[in-house]
Amino acid sequence: MAGTEKQREEINRKLVSMQMEMIGLTYEDAMNTPEFWRVYTLTTEQTLEWRKQALPLIRKTFKVNKSRGELIMAMFELDLGLREFNPPVEPPRAYLLEKPTFWQKVQKFFIGYYR
């Protein structure tokens, strides 16, 4: 990662603080929670908003171009970034036909026959 050690510590503090503010908590809450990046999550919209705010801050702090800034941001997300919460998607429902097809009858016959 680019920059001095002091810059890296400061930017990490700011980025964690930004993420925690999005979920209504503070930086101190994160530091008091062991492995906070596994406990707290962001929604997809919050993650996109955070990335929009974080990239200019990273670019300004380290004086890098956009692609290098995105790389630094990706490394931060792997190290300390909050996970993105994706609610479980309901699987598609299979609707039974009123009348079974020929192949459904054959399958039912052989499954029942061999069990």
Backbone angles phi, psi at 84, to 5 degrees: -95, 125
CA dist 59 and 20 (Å) reads: 21
- Rg of the chain over all Cα atoms, to the nearest angstrom: 24
pTM of the shown model: 0.70
Q: What is the pLDDT along the chain (115 residues), one digit of tens a residue?
A: 567 888 889 999 999 999 999 999 999 999 999 889 889 999 989 999 999 999 999 999 999 999 999 999 999 999 989 988 877 777 776 666 577 778 878 887 787 655 5
Q: Helix, strand, coil proportions of the chain in percent (round to 5)?
A: 65, 5, 30
Domain parsing of the chain, residue ranges: 5-84
